[in-house]
Amino acid sequence: EAFQARLRGRPEEVEELADVMATNTKKFVLLHAVSQYPHSASEANLGKIDALRKLLEGQHYASVGYSCHCLDIEVPKMAIAMGAEYIELHFSLSRALPQIKHQMYDGGPMVTTHECSYEPRELKEIADWRDKFAAATGTGEFFLNEIEGKIKTRYINRYGV
């Protein structure tokens, strides 16, 4: 029962949307998005992910994500590292596939959605990185793994420390 919304508004508009969604859905996701297709890494404004998370503090049924329109493969990885729980990406079997170009805004470049999409190998790289990041992040608990326990025991026995 998740509902997703792309956010491009002012903070008070986002708060109002969050209130409406909290009242009318059991679970929802707020996605930070940059409307420009494609945009550069410097235009990603990933700090907005943290701002959205703060806005949703205490709402356990709400999640934060990122709607990525940047072709720099590092940007969605950064969004994951910053706590985005959902990543929305455009994908295509090939950026070279034929498609009618369109203009996103007056004076803007003529683009196709294929040109601003990730290809399968890139999606796999992002997914593999996400899994590796999750494994490396761990739980944050203080404990010794099995090998560390053996090392500690050895040095305690050897030096009494």
Residue 38 sits at φ, ψ, to 5 deg, of: -80, 170
Cβ atoms of 40 and 107 within 8 Å: the answer is no
Report the helix count and the strand count for the chain, using DSSP H and E: 5, 6
pLDDT digits (tens, 9 = 90+) for 56-68: 888 888 999 999 9
Q: State how beta strands 110-111 and 27-33 pair.
A: unpaired
**Residue 53 and residue 157: Cα distance in Å, rounded?**
47
Q: Tell the residue number behind the tokens 């601003």, with chain if given.
A: 116
pLDDT digits (tens, 9 = 90+) for 127-153: 999 999 999 999 889 989 899 999 988
pLDDT digits (tens, 9 = 90+) for 80-106: 999 999 999 999 999 888 888 888 889
